[in-house]
Every structure is written in structure tokens, then in C-alpha cells.
Amino acid sequence: MRVPDVTKAREVLGFEATVGLDAVLDEVIPWIAEQMKLGRM
């Protein structure tokens, strides 16, 4: 099982996610489905 660590992203880039994975997937999955339907992927 992998357990990603985002410490380096926070320390080096100053990046820290503010949106949860569930919210991102709710937006990304329909977008990908639409792009595939349009033949762009």
C-alpha cells in the first residue's frame, strides 16, 4: 500500500491542497467523460 507524503511539495513549493479529493473527482470525471465523447481524449 502506498502512502504519499506531500511534505516536500509544501516545503519546496509552498503548495498545500485546499480542495478534497472527492470534490476534485466530482469535477474531473464528468469533464473527462465529455472530452472522450467529443473525441478529444
Residue 27 lies in a domain: yes
Residue 1 lies in a domain: no
Residue 22 lies in a domain: yes
Asked if 33 contacts 39 with a C-beta cutoff of 8 angstroms, the reply is no
Count H helices and E strands in the chain, helices first.
2, 0
What backbone phi and psi angles, to 5 degrees, belong to 12? -85, -45
In this prediction, residue 14 carries a pLDDT of 96
Domain count, the chain: 1
Residue 12 lies in a domain: yes
Average pLDDT, the chain: 94
Buried b (16+ CB within 10 A) or exposed e, 2-35: eeeeeeeeeeeeeeeeeeeeeeeeeeeeeeeeee
The yes-or-no verdict on residue 1 having pLDDT over 90 is no
For residue range 6-24, list pLDDT tens digits in order: 999 999 999 998 999 999 9
Residue 31 lies in a domain: yes
Range of the domain at 12: 7-37
